[in-house]
């Protein structure tokens, strides 16, 4: 199994695509690797055809070449799982969470978040339609996967210039500031270390020292996917990352440093308990810290954001950018491991692997392939975690946990009070020893207690919940409600339609049905008064005549 895994990750790490304007190149010599070249093209280009070329080229160069190896890998994985008493490898993976009805609980969490995601999706589709016009067929309500600024459409923050609700309001992007202030990879790591130290936590400095890899080497090919490593000797911890000087990597560093901090805090547990309370906990720690780090307030405090005018429009901009990373990610994560569980269990045959992948992508993400896909393709393999056999549902769980953690830490730090004036999304736990103590109390346990007990220690809750993440994004959700196109009027004729306003058709207002009723009532009363007056006048004339 390990040999096959090495073969597949080797194919992944060495895959290259010829440049768009030189498609017949020698790929091994002149081809572009995923990081940083192909990722940059997906993030910055608005050339529909170039994006399509790169999107398809990466899948041809990576996933398609490992399909046969992956078939054998599934067979061996399931054999290993059954020898350990499990139905299949998916069943073995889910056992890490020690939760009955685990899959049902995940679907419940997603059902609670899905309405917010769909609001973002519809808003994004309308904005992209303005950019790509007739090239984007939106008749089915699905977004072509190559237009979302990311190789896998798992996060859409690279579309922020297109999707920013208020272009004239302040926005949070520190990439220019990092470069203007001569930041390099090392200095970015040192800034992250300073945050963790401000909470009274142990030093992470060993993780980016001489034994670590924090910049892409020029003399060899490496897997650039950011990762943190525990060498299990209670002293050696390292980060492996091809750091680029940009805001995205600045946040990623804080995420990876969260893994290191967790390693250090539970290092005194017995070896078998030196792991996260469940796999999602490990992913949640650094992301919890990043929620504070990415706030405008924090970035101003550390000198990376200036001339930022705080108001509701700026807040909506910031929340949108965060949602394009956090909320948008959830259906991709759920689709990826749902696909693998179905493959492991045999619920989908080998002849339908790729079709099933896109069925799930459409169901959960509402995205579609930009070109026809067949079973000679193997699109799941274009994502590192598939050939590397790394569970992905942990990230899904982590995205709920981090907001639960964040809310609890903010209360401990005195930065947030439920029902108070300060909203949750503005909290920054920087320099809070109280928040650091709460982190230490929970994380130092490792896997010594059931994850629900650790969660209760850290948050007062024993179950995963969507309430914190929904509260965090409530202002954005309300804004998106206001942006929804109004339903067409059933009694309006086509000729009554007015010109487009902001890309949306505004229908003529429906006539007020009370007007004719009121007019009729007035006329009726007037006629009645005339009749009564006539009758009274006639009686008076008759009486006078009889006198």
Going by the annotation, the residues of the binding site for chloride are 97
**Residues comprising the binding site for Zn(2+)?**
255, 259, 283
CB 339 within 8 A of CB 213: no
Q: Is 471 one of the annotated active-site residues of the chain?
A: no
Q: How far apart are CA 10 and CA 13, in angstroms?
A: 5
For residue 66, the tally of other CB atoms under 10 A from its CB is 24
Measured CA to CA, the distance from residue 457 to residue 454 in angstroms comes to 5
Do the Cβ atoms of 252 and 242 come closer than 8 Å?
no
What whole-number distance in Å separates Cα of residue 217 and Cα of residue 243? Answer: 11
Q: Write out the H or E segment, with its range, that includes residue 286.
A: helix 279-293
Pairing of strands 367-368, 143-144: parallel
Q: Within 10 Å of residue 524's Cβ, how many Cβ atoms?
A: 10
How far is Cα 154 from Cα 149, in angstroms, rounded to an integer? 9
CA pair distance 213, 22, nearest whole angstrom: 32
Selecting among 256, 282, 298, 356, the annotated active-site residue is 256
**Are 30 and 12 in contact, with CB atoms under 8 Å apart?**
no
Measured CA to CA, the distance from residue 109 to residue 466 in angstroms comes to 6
Number of helices (H), then strands (E), in the chain = 22, 8
Task: For residue 6, give every residue at least 6 positions away whose Cβ sits within 8 Å of its Cβ, in sequence order, or none.
Answer: none
Instruction: Indicate the angle between helix axes 329-345 and 67-83, nearest 10 degrees.
Output: 70
Contact 293, 461 (CB under 8 A): no
Pairing of strands 500-501, 504-505: antiparallel
User: 271-303 burial by CB neighbour count: b if 16+ within 10 A, else e?
Assistant: eeebbbbbbbbbbbbbbbbbbbbbbbebbbeee
Contact criterion met (CB below 8 Å) for 216 and 244: no
Which neighbouring-strand residues pair with 16?
33
**Annotated binding site: which residue ranges?**
97, 255, 259, 283
- CB of 166 within 8 A of CB of 236? no
* Omega before residue 36 within 30° of 0, cis: yes
> What Rg, from alpha-carbon coordinates, does the chain have?
30
| Alpha-carbon distances, residue 396 vs 283, 328, 330, 427 (angstroms) | 9, 11, 6, 23
Distance from the first to the final alpha carbon of the chain:
124
Question: Which residues are CB-neighbours of 11 under 8 A, at least 6 positions away?
Answer: 62, 65, 66, 69, 387
Q: Find all residues with CB under 8 Å of 475, minimum gap 6, and list them.
A: 312, 315, 316, 319, 423, 425
Of the residues 121, 282, 385, 406, only one is catalytic, namely: 385
92 Cβ neighbours under 8 A, 6+ residues apart: 81, 84, 86
Residue 146 appears among annotated catalytic residues: no
- CA–CA separation, 140 and 281 (whole Å): 37
- Tell me the catalytic residues: 256, 385
């Amino acid at each position: 199994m390990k040999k096959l895994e090495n073969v597949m990750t080797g194919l992944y790490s060495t895959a290259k695509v010829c440049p768009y304007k030189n498609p017949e190149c020698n790929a091994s010599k002149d081809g572009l690797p995923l990081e940083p070249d192909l990722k940059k093209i997906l993030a910055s280009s608005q050339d529909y055809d170039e994006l399509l070329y790169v999107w398809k080229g990466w899948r041809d160069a990576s996933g398609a070449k490992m399909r046969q190896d992956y078939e054998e890998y599934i067979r061996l994985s399931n054999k290993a799982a059954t020898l350990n008493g499990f139905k299949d490898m998916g069943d073995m993976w889910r056992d890490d969470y020690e939760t009955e009805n685990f899959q049902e609980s995940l679907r419940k969490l997603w059902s609670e978040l899905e309405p917010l995601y769909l609001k973002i999706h519809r808003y994004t589709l309308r904005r992209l339609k303005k950019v790509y016009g007739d090239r984007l067929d939106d008749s089915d309500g699905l977004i072509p996967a190559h237009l979302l600024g990311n190789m896998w459409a798992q996060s859409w923050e690279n579309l922020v210039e297109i999707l920013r609700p208020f272009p004239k309001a302040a926005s949070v992007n520190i990439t220019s500031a990092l470069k203007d202030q001569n930041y390099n990879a090392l200095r970015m790591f040192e800034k992250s270390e300073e945050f963790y130290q401000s909470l009274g936590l142990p030093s992470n400095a060993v993780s980016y020292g001489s034994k670590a890899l924090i910049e892409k080497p020029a003399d060899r090919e490496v897997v650039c996917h950011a990762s943190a490593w525990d060498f299990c000797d209670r002293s050696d911890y390292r980060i492996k990352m091809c750091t680029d000087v940009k805001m995205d990597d600045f946040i990623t560093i804080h995420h990876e440093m969260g893994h290191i901090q967790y390693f250090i805090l539970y290092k005194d547990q017995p070896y078998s308990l030196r792991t996260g309370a469940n796999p999602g906990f490990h992913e949640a720690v650094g992301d919890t810290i990043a929620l504070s780090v990415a706030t405008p307030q924090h970035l101003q405090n550390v000198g990376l954001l200036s001339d930022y005018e705080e108001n509701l429009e700026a807040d909506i901009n910031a929340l949108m950018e965060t949602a394009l990373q956090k909320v948008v990610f959830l259906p991709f994560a759920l689709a990826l491991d749902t696909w693998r569980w179905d493959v492991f269990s045999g619920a989908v045959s080998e002849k339908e692997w790729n079709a099933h992948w896109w069925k799930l992508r459409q169901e959960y993400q509402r995205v579609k392939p930009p070109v026809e896909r067949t079973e000679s393709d193997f699109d799941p393999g274009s994502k590192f975690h598939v050939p590397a056999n790394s569970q992905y549902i942990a990230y899904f769980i982590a995205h709920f946990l981090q907001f639960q953690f964040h809310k609890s830490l903010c209360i401990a730090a005195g930065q947030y009070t439920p029902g108070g004036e300060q909203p949750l999304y503005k909290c920054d736990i920087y320099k809070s020893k109280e928040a650091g103590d709460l982190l230490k109390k929970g994380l130092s346990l490792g896997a010594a207690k059931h994850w629900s007990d650790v969660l209760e220690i850290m948050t007062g809750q024993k179950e995963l919940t969507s309430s914190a993440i929904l509260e965090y994004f409530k202002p954005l959700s309300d804004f998106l409600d206001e942006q929804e196109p109004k339903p067409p009027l059933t009694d309006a004729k086509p000729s009554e339609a007015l010109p487009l306003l902001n890309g949306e058709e505004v229908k003529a207002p429906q006539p007020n049905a009370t007007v004719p009723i009121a007019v009729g009532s007035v006329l009726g009363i007037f006629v009645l008064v005339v009749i009564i007056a006539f009758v009274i006048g006639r009686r008076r004339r008759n009486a006078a005549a009889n006198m």
